[in-house]
Amino acid sequence: MAIIIDGKKVAAEIREELKLKIADFKNKTGKVPGLVAILVGNNPASEVYVSSKSRACEELGMTSKVEKFPSEIREEELIQCVTRYNEDENFHGILVQLPLPSHINEQKIIETILPSKDVDGFHPVNVGNLVIGKETFYPCTPYGIVELLKRYSIETKGKHVVVVGRSNIVGKPIANMLLQKKEGANAIVTICHSAAKDLSRYTKDADILIAAIGKENFITADMVKEDVVVIDVGINRIEDKNSKKGYKIVGDVKFDEVEKKASYITPVPGGVGPMTIAMLLTNTFSAFKKFLEKNKII
């Protein structure tokens, strides 16, 4: 039986640590970190994410704002909104919830955000810095995974990490982070994706398997080796007549059977998910600290 990695508990610890730091900075400078979340349209999952992010900010004593726009918004108007927050000294982090409607060029919006306020770590400048191992904002989900591995003292050095999924939000950044020659990384990394002819050939060799596919119960016990560490990034809604909402959230890993073979595993919900928000708050606090340093306030 595997040790269940409790992301909810670790995320709560991180939030508590941040809360103390924020109170301390407020005492010293009279200032608090600010995060604006920009939400376009009414995708139910995005609405839930943004309201959780906003609530988490407020609980920590940060300034939080949600800018909500209808899905018909013109690209130009969205650019103007981002630009306004680039110039606003009360907001140190800007987050544009993805995906955006198809008539808006997502990359153009991301590139409008100042790299110093890009707390999602999606701007090409930050992505480039991540790849070459310079200090940057790490995308929140991969950052959360690295933090979980660290806090559970799971060795990554020399281990074979197999990432299934090549998205810009999870697959590519986590692979690059764990590849770096530094503490908490230094792994041998393989990235697999939907074009793999025989996916099991790769997943079976993983010491650490990171599933970021977006397909429910996709990773089964026969695809992994004994004592594997399994990180499940999937958030899939499936119908559940017994639940009030009519659905439940499941991961990309068939938990019940894989758990019997793994040494460590993250559950869904309560694994990687809560860490994403904790790391967004961490990044916003870093952006705030850098702003104070740059302006010689500390």
Residues with Cβ within 8 Å of residue 97, at least 6 apart in sequence: 37, 38, 39, 40, 46, 49, 50
Using the minimum distance from each CB to ligand GUN, give the nearer residue, 170 or 199: 170
Widest CA span in the chain: 58
Cβ at position 170, least distance to ligand GUN in Å: 8
Are 234 and 214 in contact, with CB atoms under 8 Å apart?
Answer: yes
Compute φ and ψ for 264, nearest 5 degrees. -135, 150
CB under 8 A, 24+ apart: contacts of 122-128? 122/168, 122/169, 127/168, 127/173
Catalytic status, residue 97: yes
276: nearest Cα among 5, 2, 7: 7
Catalytic status, residue 180: no
Beta bridge partners of 69: 40
Are 226 and 259 in contact, with CB atoms under 8 Å apart?
Answer: no
Using the minimum distance from each CB to ligand GUN, give the nearer residue, 156 or 276: 276
Using the minimum distance from each CB to ligand GUN, give the nearer residue, 139 or 267: 139
Name the active-site residue from 53, 117, 254, 261. Answer: 53
Using the minimum distance from each CB to ligand GUN, give the nearer residue, 229 or 279: 279
Are 170 and 276 in contact, with CB atoms under 8 Å apart?
Answer: no
Cβ at position 17, least distance to ligand GUN in Å: 21
Q: Give the residue nearest to ligand GUN (CB).
A: 98
Cβ at position 95, least distance to ligand GUN in Å: 5
Half-sphere exposure in the Cβ direction for 122 (13 Å, CA): 23
Rg (alpha carbons) of the chain, rounded to whole number? 19
Catalytic status, residue 80: no
Measured distance CA(117)–CA(78) in Å, rounded: 16
Name the active-site residue from 6, 118, 120, 252. Answer: 120
Cβ at position 1, least distance to ligand GUN in Å: 31
Cβ at position 195, least distance to ligand GUN in Å: 23
Using the minimum distance from each CB to ligand GUN, give the nearer residue, 120 or 259: 120
What is the binding site for ligand GUN (CB under 6 A)?
Answer: 95-98, 120, 140-141, 169, 276
Name the active-site residue from 6, 31, 97, 207. Answer: 97
Q: Please identify every residue annotated as catalytic.
A: 53, 97, 120
